[in-house]
Amino acid sequence: MNIIDFYYWGDQCPHNSKMKKVLEMLNNEERYKINIFDISNDIETARKLNIFSPTLLVIDNSLRLHGPISKEKIEQICRGDVPKAKQYKVNIGINMIKAELKNNTEVSIFDTCKLCASSSENVHCSDKGKWIENIRLKFNLPHLGKLHYLNNNCIGGAEFVPSIIVPYPIPRADDIAFLTCSFGSSEEADYKSFPLQKLEEELPKLGYKALMAIASEDSCFPNGPLEWFLDRNYIDLGELYYEEMHVAKMHLVKKIL
């Protein structure tokens, strides 16, 4: 029997909704034991397992995988066909695009479904929308970041939350915001810098003095690469954890606003 543990941060990532549906299908088969853990309020588990991304699948207490994984891929791995470690590397284009920006809310989040969830199924972004709305109302925030549009299509964005609700083992404070996601990475152009720049300008008006993020060396997983942040005046606070299957040395970075 294969043990599959799924750790996820609420609906921060639309892929969490997709993964739970995949695991529901596998749960009906006797050869798998499925355990699902929402770490939204479980900092101790996140600390113990060094969780620094919203979606973590652990197979047989050893193999750690992040991001979207299909039912077929999980079955393949459980049969012993383990994929080689692979880095999510993108040489981000140097041409910075400055197009239309919208606030990241429970309404506009549906525009990200194809880009972020690789799906036009609104159900995944609907769950994410409820997550955004709950945080906005709890902290009286007008939005959770900026979305970037070109020709009416969402091409990127910068999402944040108050650091005090982040379950990862990082420093937290009322006046520190946390960058949950900076996207999308493309070799054609830089779609990420403009929304992040505008978010950084607006955060002080919302009461935040600094912005933190997780960035990986030479990799866009979970954000990054690290050098991209350093070039934008972020300070490297040190390495947090190395995800072997994703060839990702993750660092904590911070920018004083």
In 3D, which of 164, 166, 184 has the Cα closest to residue 174?
164
| Total-model pTM | 0.95
pLDDT, tens only, 148-196: 999 999 999 999 999 999 999 999 999 999 999 999 888 889 999 999 9
Which superfamily is assigned to 2-78 in CATH?
A: Glutaredoxin (3.40.30.10)
CA distances to 88, 97, 257 from 193, in Å: 19, 8, 15
Give yes or no for residue 206 having a pLDDT over 90. Answer: yes
Q: What is the pLDDT of residue 88?
A: 83
pLDDT tens per residue, range 75-115: 999 999 998 988 888 888 889 999 999 999 999 999 998 88
Phi, psi of 94 (to 5 degrees): -85, -15
CATH 3.40.630.30 fits 100-256, yes or no: yes
* pLDDT at residue 96, rounded to an integer: 93
Q: How many CA atoms lie within 13 A of 145 on its CB side?
A: 28
Note the pLDDT of residue 216: 95
CA angle 252-254-257, nearest 5°? Answer: 165
- 127-148 per-position pLDDT tens digit: 899 999 999 999 999 999 999 9
Q: Where along the chain do its domains lie? A: 2-78, 100-256
Amino acid at position 34, single letter = I
pLDDT for the residue 29: 82
Domains 2-78 and 100-256 share a fold: no
